Amino acid sequence: MSKLANEQMKYKSNAKRSIKKSWKQVLPIFLCIQYSIFNLQPSFAQSLTDQKKEYTRADSLRGGLRHERTCYDVTFYDLKVKIDTATQSVSGTNRIVFKAIDDFKTMQIDLFDNMNIVSIKQNGESVKYRREFNAVFVDLNDFMKRGLNGEIEVRYNGKPIIAKRAPWDGGFTWTHDKNGKPWIAVACEGMGASCWWPCKDYLGDEPDSMSIWCNVPDGLRCISNGNEMESREEIDTTTSFHWFVHYPINNYNVTLNIGDYVQFSEEYIADDNSKLALDYYVMRYNLDKAKLQFTQVKPMLKCYEKYLGKYPFWKDGYALVETPYLGMEHQGAIAYGNRYLTGYAGNDYSGIGLDFDYIIIHESAHEWWGNSVSCKDIADMWIHESFATYTESIYVECMLGHDTAIQYINKKKKHMGNEKPVAGVYGVNEEGDGDMYSKGALFINTLRSIVNDDEKWWSIIKGMCDTSFKMKNVSYENVAMYFCRKTGKDLLPVFEQYLKFPKIPVFEYKLKKLKKGEFELSYRWAVNAKDFRMPAFVFTIENSKQMLKGTNEFQTTTVKLKKETDFKVNEDLMYIEVKKL
């Protein structure tokens, strides 16, 4: 039985059992389920994106699911990597521990074809494998029965792709610090972790935990994810650093930061008096700047705890790691490259007199959105970026108040193209449009206005992070249905319009004078989505606010206005266009 069918049966059953809920309360949820059954199946959802790109076998191998991928679940990675700064190459092994979800003999792992596989072994014995583009099909010696645990070890080496403009393109950054010492970092969101280490490179399958060993030349330090367990000097004038991640982790979040790092630490005390370790790794010559700049971390964590729940990766601690590129949300080792400036690399695009460090605020938000609440398919990367971008405004509201937060988020409207959908295409490793940042955040702000109840709103947002989706991989459908359930509103057409279609809703209206001070208002939402329902907030006589229940069909009501030009639609609370007919 499909997940949608399960949802349908569950809610039909709940509706029958509950005599306290009126039909009026149950109907929106029932409509959400019916709408999802008929309108949100993958084939239909993908057709909405109006994609013209032709996808290849390589795209399907990289982004799709087939038995060789679904037959097993990764439970643990034991990655050991040696970095050669002279040749800009890596070598090492990855032990992949898994549980069989189905009976199988052949499994798929991933490693870019510019990287060399030296051997793959099961229980110490070599196994056969074949490559197809960046996919590697491994024929095991031992047949895996459903429910059994197994492991393979992949030995590999090669020169990973060099990032030309990290973090916007993936790969390694090989550079030097101001003192001439090697400074190396990796960021591979979008491109995928298999550009530098062998793994099951699918976002929907995260290991339960992970061990990372990194061997570097003496005099350098490697900072990775989680907690540093030990470091040891080797006999070949290198040093090995061992890091351990206690939680599930996205493959693209696994990172190495290598350089002449110095460290300072402090503690954050949560509302329940538990203590979170805060560690900062920066270039030696930036220590004083960092100690000043990073004072923003504790107030930020306090705000995020209030609205999103406690920091999710408590055992691993929170860390900022200075990098030669702008930033990235690497779990427990957040990449920081904003050069100790306010705003975005020193620019205030917000219009509020931005006095905080954008990279700290935005990338830290990803610890909740993206690292804890994670998407299953890169097509739903908007879940990571839209909610993290919206969380910037949560921080502003927490620190500066609601009105300033509304001003802040509305400044993002100028960054939109509205030419392609925010949601991507499933099964081909294709994320949606870059509008997922600002447009996605404005969409979430629109949802808040639709809910029109801040107590309920914040319980919904916090519930996503702290209970319902914490440490889980979710989809567009999961998130949309969650909002339906929690609000009791039929929101699926709203999700569809903002995320599956390029254009935003247009509030079309016309006014006809009836008598002095009174006009007939005809209005509708011009949209692509069927059965669209969304309120509109308008100003009428003496600037009083009124809520109209809008659909994609024209409706007529009477409004009081001194003159026609007094009619205004509040565009600050929702991301919409307004058109007078």
pLDDT one-digit tens code per residue, 427-484: 999 999 999 999 999 999 999 999 999 999 999 999 999 999 999 999 999 999 999 9
Give domain status of residue 298, yes or no: no
CA dihedral 280, 285, 288, 289 (to 10 degrees): -80
Assess contact for 117 and 129: CB atoms under 8 A: yes
- pLDDT for the residue numbered 29: 56
pLDDT value for 52:
64
Of the candidates 75, 134, 70, the one whose C-alpha atom is nearest the C-alpha of residue 106 is: 70
pLDDT of amino acid 353 = 86
Strand runs (DSSP E) across 326-368, as ranges?
Answer: 327-328, 334-336
In-domain check, residue 345: no
Per-residue confidence (pLDDT) for residue 415, from 0 to 100: 84
Closest to 140 in 3D by CA, of 125, 127, 154, 153: 127
In this prediction, residue 36 carries a pLDDT of 52
For residues 218 and 77, membership in a common domain is answered with: yes
513/520 Cα distance (integer angstroms): 6
Answer yes or no: do 464 and 524 share one domain. no
End-of-domain residue from the set 446, 477, 503: 503
Is 393 strand, coil or helix? helix
Is 42 a residue whose pLDDT tops 50? no
d(CA 423, CA 428): 13
* Strands across the sheet containing 334-336: 261-269, 275-283, 318-322, 334-336, 327-328
Range of the domain at 183: 71-263
Query: How confident is the model over 326-375, as pLDDT tens digits?
Result: 999 999 999 999 999 999 999 998 888 889 999 999 999 999 999 999 99
Span 416-426, average pLDDT: 96
**232-278 pLDDT per residue, tens:** 999 999 999 999 999 999 999 999 999 999 999 999 999 999 999 99
Q: Is residue 355 part of a domain?
A: no
Confidence band, pLDDT 50/70/90 cuts, at residue 34: low
C-alpha distances (whole Å) from 61 to each of 56, 108, 133, 581 are 9, 9, 8, 49
Based on the domain organization, do 58 and 111 belong to the same domain?
Answer: no
Are 238 and 136 found together in one domain?
yes
Residue 45 inside a domain? The answer is yes
pLDDT at 16 over 70: no
Question: Has residue 325 been placed in a domain?
Answer: no
Note whether 127 and 84 are same-domain residues.
Answer: yes
Is 4 inside a domain boundary? Answer: yes
pLDDT at 13 over 80: no
- What is the value of pTM for the model shown? 0.92
Residue 209 sits in the same domain as residue 105: yes
pLDDT at 35: 54
Number of folded domains that form the chain: 3
- Pair (527, 475) in one structural domain: no
**End-of-domain residue from the set 214, 232, 263:** 263
Q: What is the CATH number of the domain that holds 163?
A: 2.60.40.1730
How many other C-beta atoms are found inside a 10 Å radius of the C-beta of residue 508? 18
Tell me whether residue 98 is in a domain: yes
Asked whether residue 217 is assigned to any structural domain, the reply reads yes
Mark residue 543 as left, alpha or beta (left: phi above 0; alpha: psi -120 to 50; beta: remaining).
left
Whether the pLDDT of residue 397 is over 60: the answer is: yes
Cis before 167 (ω within 30): yes
485 and 454, same structural domain? yes
* Minimum mean pLDDT range among 42-46, 158-162, 362-366: 42-46
Are 507 and 523 in contact by the 8 Å Cβ rule? The answer is: yes
Shortest CA distance to 248 belongs to which of 384, 73, 107? 73
How confident is the model at residue 543, as a pLDDT? 65
- On whether both 493 and 544 belong to a single domain, the answer is no
Which of 439, 468, 503 represents a domain boundary (last residue)?
503
Q: What helix, strand, coil percent values describe the chain, rounded to 5?
A: 30, 35, 35
Cα 282 → chain centroid: 26
* Residue owning tokens 């793994």: 199
Res. 1: pLDDT tops 60 = no
Average pLDDT score over the chain:
92
